Amino acid sequence: MELKRVVVTGLGVLSPIGNNISEYWDGLKNGKSGCAPITYFDTEKFKTKFACEVKNYDPLDHFDRKEARKLDRFAQYALVASDEAILDANINLDEVDKFRVGVIWGAGIGGLETFQDEVLNYAKGDGTPRFNPFFIPKMIADIAPGNISIKHGFMGPNYTTVSACASSANAIIDAFNYIRLGLCDIIVTGGSEAAVTQAGMGGFNAMHALSTLNESPETASRPFDATRDGFVLGEGGGALILEEYEHAKKRGAKIYAEVAGGGMSSDAYHMTAPHPDGIGVERVMINCLKDAGMSPDEVDAINTHGTSTPLGDVAELKAISKVFGEHAHDININSTKSMTGHLLGAAGAIEAIASILAMKYSLVPPTINHTTVDENIDPSLNLTLNKAQEKEINVAMSNTFGFGGHNACILFKKFAE
Q: What is the pLDDT along the chain (417 residues), one digit of tens a residue?
A: 799 999 999 999 999 999 999 999 999 999 999 999 999 999 999 999 999 999 999 999 999 999 999 999 999 999 999 999 999 999 999 999 999 999 999 999 999 999 999 999 999 999 999 999 999 999 999 999 999 999 999 999 999 999 999 999 999 999 999 999 999 999 999 999 999 999 999 999 999 999 999 999 999 999 999 999 999 999 999 999 999 999 999 999 999 999 999 999 999 898 888 888 889 999 999 999 999 999 999 999 999 999 999 999 999 999 999 999 999 999 999 999 999 999 999 999 999 999 999 999 999 999 999 999 999 999 999 999 999 999 999 999 999 999 999 999 999 999 998
Strand (E) or helix (H) holding 150: helix 143-152
Question: Cβ distance 298 to 340 under 8 Å?
Answer: no
Q: What are the CA-CA distances from residue 90 to residues 97, 122, 381 (Å)?
A: 15, 45, 40
Please indicate whether residue 165 is annotated as part of the active site: yes
The tally of domains found in the chain comes to 2
Reported pTM: 0.98
Contacts of residue 73, defined as CB under 8 A and 6 or more positions apart, other chains included, come to 59, 113, 194, 235
pLDDT at 217: 98
pLDDT at 273: 83
At 106, give phi and psi (nearest 5°): -110, 140
Dmax over Cα atoms in the chain, in whole Å? 66
pLDDT at 46: 98
Question: Cβ distance 271 to 310 under 8 Å?
Answer: no
Q: Point out the domain boundary residue: 209, 225, 250.
A: 250
Q: Point out the domain boundary residue: 250, 280, 295.
A: 250
- In terms of domains, do 60 and 159 share one? yes
Q: Identify which of 310, 308, 233 has the alpha carbon closest to the alpha carbon of residue 50.
A: 233
Contacts of residue 334, defined as CB under 8 A and 6 or more positions apart, other chains included, come to 301, 302, 303, 304, 306, 364, 365, 366, 367, 383, 384
- In terms of domains, do 238 and 295 share one? no
> Environment class of residue 72 by beta-carbon count within 10 Å: exposed (0-12), middle (13-18) or buried (19+)?
buried
Question: Cβ distance 367 to 271 under 8 Å?
Answer: no
Could you tell me which residues are beta bridge partners of residue 257? 8
pLDDT at 237: 98
Residue 287 resides in a domain: yes
- In terms of domains, do 204 and 266 share one? no
Sign of the Cα torsion 146, 149, 155, 159 reads negative
**Degrees (nearest 5) of the Cα angle 339, 18, 242?**
95
Helix axes 347-361, 21-29, angle to 10 degrees: 70
Q: What are the CA-CA distances from residue 393 to residues 60, 330, 398 (Å)?
A: 39, 12, 13
pLDDT at 271: 87
pLDDT at 417: 84
pLDDT at 170: 98
pLDDT at 199: 98
Question: Cβ distance 73 to 138 under 8 Å?
Answer: no
Residue 204 resides in a domain: yes
pLDDT at 274: 85
Residue 145 resides in a domain: yes
d(CA 45, CA 357): 40
- In terms of domains, do 176 and 298 share one? no
pLDDT at 233: 98
d(CA 250, CA 355): 26
- In terms of domains, do 294 and 224 share one? no
- In terms of domains, do 217 and 266 share one? no
Q: Which of 247, 305, 370, 406 is catalytic?
A: 305
- In terms of domains, do 196 and 285 share one? no
User: If you write DSSP's letter for every residue of 363-394 in order, what string do you get?
Assistant: EEPPB----S--TTS-TTSB--BSS-EE---S
- In terms of domains, do 270 and 245 share one? no
Please indicate whether residue 62 is annotated as part of the active site: no
pLDDT at 272: 82
Q: Identify which of 269, 264, 336 has the alpha carbon closest to the alpha carbon of residue 301.
A: 336
Q: Which of 165, 184, 288, 409 is catalytic?
A: 165
Residue 153 resides in a domain: yes
Which domain range does residue 79 map to? Answer: 7-250
d(CA 134, CA 122): 15
Strand order in the sheet with 186-193: 158-161, 101-106, 186-193, 236-244, 6-14, 257-266, 406-413, 395-402, 301-303, 332-334
Residue 2 resides in a domain: no
- In terms of domains, do 43 and 78 share one? yes
Q: What is the CATH number of the domain that holds 402?
A: 3.40.47.10
d(CA 238, CA 20): 9
Residue 129 resides in a domain: yes
Q: Which of 342, 370, 406, 409 is catalytic?
A: 342
- In terms of domains, do 56 and 19 share one? yes
Q: Point out the domain boundary residue: 250, 283, 315.
A: 250
d(CA 106, CA 347): 9
Residue 165 resides in a domain: yes
- In terms of domains, do 93 and 219 share one? yes
Question: Cβ distance 146 to 158 under 8 Å?
Answer: yes
- In terms of domains, do 289 and 406 share one? yes
Residue 257 resides in a domain: no
